[in-house]
Amino acid sequence: METFIEIEVRPTEIDVMGHVNNAKYLEYMEWGREDWYNKAELPFDRLTEMNIGTVTVNININYRKEARLGEHLTIYTQPVKKGRTSYTLKHVIVNEAGERVADAEVISVTIDLETRKSVPIPAELGVLFST
């Protein structure tokens, strides 16, 4: 299941170089992941009811093209692969011209909220990945 959100680059996201600060792309991707979980009917509250948390353990990001103030960006999120306790989501950010601005693979681990230890991916999350 691929999802997407659209945003407009705001003044607070621009750095001294006049383009989006590199750290903001991570935030954009986090918004994309939250939207993906919500559309998959696995919002934070639902995962909490299952005593499951998700922890980001690795992000490999490629910055392809600068984005500037006022640009409209689309952040695509899709599942890539799953393991026993970890899974990978891919993000692609494109500008209005359809040019790739950034892309990343984000690896997360599911944890038991009480023990704070990794646990197997719940079936409700696992079914969203093709193996």
Residues annotated as part of the active site:
15
Selection from 124, 121, 102, 103 nearest residue 112 by Cα:
121
Position 61: which residue type? I
Q: Compute the 3-state secondary structure of the chain and give helix, strand, coil in percent, each to the nearest 5.
A: 25, 40, 35
Give the pair of three-digit tokens for residue 7.
């945003």
Residue 58 CB neighbours (<10 A): 12
Query: In sequence order, which residues have a C-beta less than 8 Å from that of residue 120 and are 6 or more positions away?
Result: 84, 85, 110
